[in-house]
Structure 1
Amino acid sequence: MDATNDLSVLSAMSTQMADAVERVGQSLVMVNGRQRQSASGVVYAPNTILTADHVLEREEDLTIETPDQRKLPARFAGRDSATDLAILDVPDLGLDPATTTDVARVGQFVLAVGRPTSDGPMASLGIVSAVGGPVRTQRGAMLEQYIRTDATPYPGFSGGPLTSTDGTVLGIVTTGLVGGVALAVPSPIAWRIAETLTQHGTVKRGFLGLSCQPVPLPDQYRQGREQERGLLVVRVEDDSPAEKGGLLLGDVIITLDGNNLSDTDDLQALLTGNRVGQAVPVEVVRGGTPQTLQVTIGQRK
């Protein structure tokens, strides 16, 4: 009886997995945007595909293939290289957008799903190994959260979904974020970026034009602060926002726009698009004397 029950549970689980792949597969397309390996894409909105940026080696002569094997021209509509996401416009796509879910839990079963060939969807089973962040991407931006899984992302899976066992999308799989490691951009972040790309074609990211490293703050500057370190400026680029704002080599930055800075990740997290073009107060220690400068945040190109 126990063996029979075990088989019944396994059979039910197997059916659920297959149903999940079938469900998400209705919103999954093959993307042809590079010379060799095709990739995958998810229907984000009517006539809009969300995919990985690194799989688009060109912006012209793009095509997608739908689950019913229609080959359709696609128009490049925007990219955010920092998070390795891009969108394509496909008139008359005629596919329902994927359904997303917001919460990934460590240990839950997931499916990495892709459509790298015309043979239909491919899938790989695993678990959520970690939900972490922020992490610095290889393009220098900060991704506030990522999902890591041991589900194998086969060639061509980039741009496809990491899917829960009910067929809802937890994130977009990519190997283009951190040194070829397969991670997923959580769907709330990916969909937010896709919305920005739909409206503007790009995502604004702040830029100061300096290099710095954490250093301990002298005791006299720790009084009344829950802060033990600041950021020592070790390089200032010519004609950069930092130089124009008066930052000098050897300054120790303590705060930016009222926010404590203890490491470079703190700084990157504050250089968001809504601060681009704004003059913000930057508190520094220079030669043992605290000063406050006004620095206008530039836009990373």
Structure 2
Amino acid sequence: MEIADWVMAIGNPFGQLGLERTVTVGVISATGRANLRFGKESPIYQDYIQTDAAINPGNSGGPLVNLKGEVIGVNAAITSTSGGNIGIGFAIPANIAKKVSSDLINYGEVHRAYMGILPQDITTEIQESFDLNEIKGVLVAKVEDNTPADKAGLKRGDVIIQFNGKEIPNMSKFRLIVANSEINKNLPITVIRDKREKSLSIKLTERPDKITTNKSDNSVEKSDDLGLEVDELNSDFALKYKINEKHGVIITRIYPNSPSAKSGLSVGDVILEINRKTIKNVADFNKSIKDKKYDSLLLYVKTKSGAYLYVPVKLD
């Protein structure tokens, strides 16, 4: 399958109109599309085939076939400003659809392998902060306790560059590779830790049903450099967010157009580290940000949605 190959989409557009077995023709516009959002939905596992063959409401579930009549994908979604086809449609690759359908037939549910980390894409800012040679792999933002990753010795701050013999270009590919890997078998994994490559072995398990995607008299502290205000985790403000972290400071205000606002930080996020140093309270926060030798700061935060992320903040 190559970009610009001719394909046909078969389906039943606008089902109530009696247009069943409609065939539309186009080409493969791109492969490996990820980080897409369809309305309010953003599937975790994404590796879509993009095509300009007309896909309209009702076509979802129909096959995308090549000129040999081979099914290469299952029509799934479109991107549109009008609700109808504008030449940007997406199909789930046949190999992924086959795995899902086989699991549903055999087990009644989809089985996926589980590692037990919260991964993060490598950005230019992350590359600079961790002094990486290139932008590839995924950053380990958190290792869940008593998981395959924890037992294998993975650590927060590791950069996974290879897993089971496959290069890791980004987070979307990583998720797919892990999900479709064998469970209960030792698999090789290569990470960059402290600027050096390190080889480990990990035994994945089946993905669990539920996974993760806590007094001081210091007052609210304002940072003009970052453009935010923070408070202790036992403050009245923090209580409404039901924080269960044992250390850190909570962001109570973000100033418009500030470095913090530009970096994507939000009110309710908890700052756990600054430049890889633990922030226990407001006093630690003050000490960390008063060091003027940095052009940027690397924050490790727990977002108000529960995710753990490294957030580089460039100072003005």
Taking structure 2 as the reference length, the TM-score comes to 0.46
Instruction: Using CA pairs under 8 Å that are at least 6 residues apart, name the structure with larger relative contact order, 1 or 2.
Output: 1
Structure with greater strand share of residues = 1
Taking structure 1 as the reference length, the TM-score comes to 0.48
